[in-house]
Structure 1
């Protein structure tokens, strides 16, 4: 199979945009994506301030994050398909509008219920905007080399935005207050929406009559939301209740699959999963993103609770990661993929991620940022910069043009699932290990550090699993290097 992404311009696009406007359109898509990506991490460092101001308990505070994740992860697949039907530009601009309004509601919230509800609305707007971006990108850039460069730019923005969110969250919270981590989205959102309306090429979708399977939509949205809820809320729910909810989610997925197999106009064409590339890349992404979320969140906790860093210092300490990711993705990624092929670049990137997590697992109570954290961060950044664009290109090459929005939504969905799984599993392992050591009489800081070391070792194992899976499933049936 060729490395060329064979989607080409979507048949529902009005006209191929001119060359100069395509790169301007990419800038608009990146700006909208950056706003939603930043919000996924910017709130993390500000949570203690939110807790003090609004009086959240431990369990309630988790819902400031969980409400966003459940709405975002649950709606990605549906909004991706609806983008194919009503037009991806319409879905993207509507998502930006909803996200911006919800951000203002978050920033002006004075009560717990208001903030949680607004965060859920933010997640819905983020899903609407994010689900269709990759589909728009492959339609804008059908030529393989240009598409590779565009994917590298887009991936750099998304990857760097996650790390920048940690810095901005600490800076805004410390300099002003936590409200501004949301209010800052108002001018950005208005500018992004205005630019999107004016610059993005017009599209007319296939029409809701071509795939408006509303019962199927209800089933898959409910199943995805319940799945994310089970993952992020497992620590606060009893084991029997967690197993019951997981079984219910599986039953909803089964009912959805049966309906799609028989529906005249299915929401999700099951033939999509016959693509080895699409299915394999999404499975690899779940494992890779679980590893990277482990680094991002558990690493931030290690800096704060073991090394004693404050919110701003923690955010600043993470800045080398987006710098490395941005430089490598923009400077080398597209050319490297063009020369060696996405399969080889993906394996090399996953190898670097594995090495970075293994190195980080050496950090203990007497560790230091320069000796233990920074070298691992540079390896992880370089590995992600190599792996993510290659994985994205392979994933989208496995979808037909008419399924581009759905494939984009699916790819974003597995990011959320992988991140949620990694965060829930690794933080639970760290907490259990720390608790067991404290019960044996260990001191708090060494016990905490040992818990994080266990999480980092498990994350390294997950990265190895991603590498093995990619090597086995995504191996090209013939040379993927472009001629």
Structure 2
């Protein structure tokens, strides 16, 4: 098992800055791509299927490899893995910018997902190791808020770039924060060092990648090939069998990719179940609303980017405050109320019609409620899940929660074609917001029933 060699608490401010910047890179890329999808389809062709794969190729590798990355983070050190992830992400971004075909772009997006998988769990694990108590809640809130600035900057600047000099330059934009972050990472003195020779569960990693990738491949390609296609059937069967074999394998292997004993902690198990539902809805918001504004209401890319900002602005403004209150009073009712409020925003968008002027009394208030709900929920959810695992396993704990969130998003995006009816339309949009609302309500109920607040003694402010 890895043991601390140098306390990260001595570098608290630096750790927080690095965690924010590293996550900023991943968040910027995800937010920029959504506004570029119509332009990518126009230049490279392929229709909705290519648009889905541009999003999901990234999410497949991110969601499946993030578990491996969490283990690597705990075994080899968070600083080392973050550095490697940033380098991979930067190289992949340049390849995306130069992609001559949709196929090359999809492959390079998958490589970006590899870099994102290496960065994400290590960034949050650094915060868990460096902060305690209410200070940890505030730090996670700051990380959530400032990381969300990438989602604010992304759609606006990305939209201007797409409308101005072309969608390829958005991938050059994502490489800029990497050049700033890598030198800062090298200055962190504390990290984890393994005792003995670390081992990685290769079989578990292969089962995760094949399982997730196979299921997503089948769900997306059925729109083009049909459910009876041998390719679709084979992908779904192979993916399903791999996922079915994953849990038994993890139970028997000596050093598993995911220590299933983590799920014995109530908040960890329930929190991840809530994450599955809630982040599925959030993934659909980002994909469906942006496409609707551009393809049905004919908003320019930068206008669509500005129009979808309310949730991110509210997250930026409220996350630190909510994190502080959740650290003091416990996460349960924040996690229950937040998704319920967001569900109200989703159902409000059922009044959307074909007139773009309806944005002001349908989409805008709906997005404001979604943003308020997400702000109430995100930081308490992260604190509840990661606060229930030992510090030495914070890397894999963060990886599991992030993997659940990414997998939920990619499966929902993969099913978007089924929900939308093969192409974006007002009727399809109505179906999508109903699915979003139901997923959010399910997350609210799960949190209210299952989450437990820590003892008052555990949640006292950290005065160190």
User: What is the TM-score normalised by the length of structure 1?
Assistant: 0.87
SS in 1 for 2:351: coil
Question: Is residue 463 of structure 1 aligned with residue 451 of structure 2?
Answer: no
Q: Distance in 1 between matches of 2:26 and 2:389?
A: 25
Choose the corresponding residue for 1:216, options 200, 204, 207.
204
Q: Distance in 2 between matches of 1:197 and 1:418?
A: 33
Note if contact 1:427-1:455 (Cα within 8 Å) is conserved in structure 2. Answer: no
Superposition deviation, residue 342 in structure 1? 0.7
Q: Which digits, 9 at most, give the CA deviation of each residue in 1:430-466, with x for residues without a partner?
A: 226x89xxxxxxxxxxxx2222122212211111111
Q: Distance in 1 between matches of 2:61 and 2:301?
A: 27
Superposition deviation, residue 95 in structure 1? 0.1
Question: Is residue 343 of structure 1 aligned with residue 343 of structure 2?
Answer: no
Choose the corresponding residue for 1:408, options 398, 409, 414.
398
Superposition deviation, residue 334 in structure 1? 2.2
Choose the corresponding residue for 1:360, options 328, 332, 349.
349
Question: Is residue 79 of structure 1 aligned with residue 69 of structure 2?
Answer: yes
Change (3 A) 1:476 1:451: same
Q: Distance in 1 between matches of 2:48 and 2:311?
A: 30
Change (3 A) 1:120 1:280: same
Superposition deviation, residue 412 in structure 1? 1.0
Q: Which digits, 9 at most, give the CA deviation of each residue in 1:108-128, with x for residues without a partner?
A: 233444323222211111111
Note if contact 1:278-1:394 (Cα within 8 Å) is conserved in structure 2. Answer: yes
Correspondence list, 1:145-184, <5 A: 145-184=134-173
Match of 1:294 in 2: 284
Superposition deviation, residue 233 in structure 1? 4.1
Choose the corresponding residue for 1:95, options 81, 85, 91.
85
Note if contact 1:228-1:417 (Cα within 8 Å) is conserved in structure 2. Answer: no
Choose the corresponding residue for 1:333, options 318, 322, 329.
322
Range with greater deviation from structure 2 (144-153 or 365-374): 365-374
Superposition deviation, residue 426 in structure 1? 4.5
Note if contact 1:341-1:480 (Cα within 8 Å) is conserved in structure 2. Answer: no
The answer for unaligned runs of 5 or more in structure 2 is none
Note if contact 1:281-1:391 (Cα within 8 Å) is conserved in structure 2. Answer: yes
Note if contact 1:232-1:421 (Cα within 8 Å) is conserved in structure 2. Answer: no
Q: Which digits, 9 at most, give the CA deviation of each residue in 1:106-151, with x for residues without a partner?
A: 112334443232222111111111132222110011x211100111
Change (3 A) 1:467 1:302: same
Range with greater deviation from structure 2 (54-63 or 22-31): 54-63
Note if contact 1:97-1:125 (Cα within 8 Å) is conserved in structure 2. Answer: yes
SS in 1 for 2:8: coil
Change (3 A) 1:431 1:207: farther
Match of 1:445 in 2: none
Question: Is residue 12 of structure 1 aligned with residue 17 of structure 2?
Answer: no
Q: Distance in 2 between matches of 1:207 and 1:75?
A: 24
Q: Distance in 2 between matches of 1:463 and 1:18?
A: 36
Q: Distance in 1 between matches of 2:47 and 2:435?
A: 29
Match of 1:205 in 2: 193
Q: Which digits, 9 at most, give the CA deviation of each residue in 1:372-402, with x for residues without a partner?
A: 1111111111111110000000110221222
Question: Is residue 454 of structure 1 aligned with residue 431 of structure 2?
Answer: yes
Q: Distance in 1 between matches of 2:292 and 2:364?
A: 13
The answer for unaligned runs of 5 or more in structure 1 is 1-9, 436-447
Range with greater deviation from structure 2 (266-275 or 465-474): 266-275
Note if contact 2:161-2:170 (Cα within 8 Å) is conserved in structure 1. Answer: yes
Match of 2:107 in 1: 117
Note if contact 2:61-2:209 (Cα within 8 Å) is conserved in structure 1. Answer: no
Choose the corresponding residue for 2:94, options 104, 120, 124.
104
SS in 2 for 1:209: coil
Choose the corresponding residue for 2:184, options 192, 195, 198.
195
Note if contact 2:326-2:334 (Cα within 8 Å) is conserved in structure 1. Answer: yes
Match of 1:394 in 2: 384
Match of 2:415 in 1: 425
Q: Distance in 2 between matches of 1:29 and 1:223?
A: 30
Q: Distance in 1 between matches of 2:108 and 2:16?
A: 28
- The aligned length equals 457
Match of 1:144 in 2: 133
User: What is the TM-score normalised by the length of structure 2?
Assistant: 0.90
Range with greater deviation from structure 2 (168-177 or 389-398): 168-177
Change (3 A) 1:181 1:335: same
Q: Distance in 1 between matches of 2:21 and 2:44?
A: 31
Range with greater deviation from structure 2 (258-267 or 233-242): 233-242
Match of 1:238 in 2: 226
SS in 2 for 1:177: coil
